Structure 1
């Protein structure tokens, strides 16, 4: 049982609200983020700390677990921050291409946080850009299961799980420190798969009779357009 007094709850619109921003008693129209039970707002006293209480009188103790999970995703989204691991190295990447619970239909998974970053890639001495996806999972009460981890690894998507299961943060600001602490990062996958290597489109030359190879890359034998020279 968690003895921490609950200071946040879901309002009627399913938005997190603080105890001091709602009406007192049942008029708050709030529910517990953990168990969805109706809550009583106790925010008119001057002695005891303001808090939400379960209508049944039995605190489920899971409210802050859900809240930390929500905050964890919001912190990354608001700061456009992606915790990443690549080839054994951990760090952060900034990106505007980041979203929460984006459905990856081709993989049949829904990551907590999904983002994409264009990174340079050295190929035959050339610095080429490649668009790499990254996944971040927030672990509070449920770790990434083996099936999801296998899909991530098989598709070569770098992924990090941030372990907040032992966090005691009761404010969003306090939770930031736990997220930035790399000791709380569990690396699911740090290898970029072949499907994300740059694909070089070699030009098709219609009047060449032989195609051959160029720097180890086979030039297309099938033209981009249905164009063939007439025999003379």
Structure 2
């Protein structure tokens, strides 16, 4: 399979049927005795732990075939663990396109902010959850949503549903990160090694602490939309005023 982030990505974590917690494949008994199911509750197929070999990476396999959403669900869980442990998260720089010039107008630089609360939330039309975080501001608490994206792109209807309950949506671009890893390794890249790296808490910490800033981007932000609308209205008014003055000047001068 040419797509390194496809549905057949080896999964390194299963969900314990005994505790409900995520279990790394190396910490589970080999084979069907692992006592784990797919981390995606929409699937929950029993898993087989393949952690006794020396040639291939250790991983979990679905007994009944692959699962389209297990990767996103798992990575969302890992991201939530990292956020909860660190108590902080990186917000990417915020800007909007200035009307007339199409150049970015900076609103705020990227920064790491303390999180007062973090939880999984469901996204309408998406079979993997997102992470809602609350940030304390001078005006109270503000809610933002972070969406890990790997196999399935965040759709327009999903964005519209999330906009109703938050001040901004940030994409965690795992697809772009894997593409970058693949490029850096060259044409003889090790696909299984990429699967290990993308499913590590270290990678999530790097992403969510700002060490991989280009792989966090705003999908939508209420403040940016508000300022963009204000700038666009001001630009239209200015152009109309310029046209009005030009017309008055032509009338004053009269026919050539």
What TM-score does the superposition give when structure 2 sets the normalisation length? Answer: 0.56
Tell me whether 1:52 sits opposite 2:66 in the alignment.
Answer: no
Determine the structure 2 residue equivalent to 1:115. 134
CA shift for structure 1 position 53: 1.8
Equivalences for 1:130-141 in 2 at 5 Å? 130-140=139-149, 141=152
Give the alignment partner of residue 15 of structure 1, picking from 8, 13, 21. Answer: 21
Equivalences for 1:1-232 in 2 at 5 Å? 1-12=6-17, 13-34=19-40, 35-56=43-64, 58-60=65-67, 62-84=69-91, 88-95=107-114, 97-101=116-120, 112-119=131-138, 130-140=139-149, 141=152, 143=154, 145-152=158-165, 157-168=167-178, 169-179=198-208, 180=210, 181-184=212-215, 185-191=217-223
* 1:8/1:18 contact within 8 Å kept: yes
What TM-score does the superposition give when structure 1 sets the normalisation length? Answer: 0.60
**CA RMSD after TM alignment:** 3.3
> What SS does the aligned partner of 2:223 have?
coil
CA shift for structure 1 position 43: 2.0
> What SS does the aligned partner of 1:37 have?
coil
CA shift for structure 1 position 136: 2.7
> What SS does the aligned partner of 2:36 have?
coil
Runs (5+) with no aligned partner, structure 2: 1-5, 96-106, 123-128, 179-197, 227-256
- Residues 62-109 of structure 1 show CA distances to partners (whole Å, capped at 9, x for unaligned) of 432221121122222221123336663242343251221379xxxxxx
Distance in 2, Cα, partners of 1:82 & 1:55: 36
- Residues 175-208 of structure 1 show CA distances to partners (whole Å, capped at 9, x for unaligned) of 33344333231241151999xxxxxxxxxxxxxx
Deviates more, 1:88-97 or 1:26-35: 88-97
Change (3 A) 1:162 1:189: same
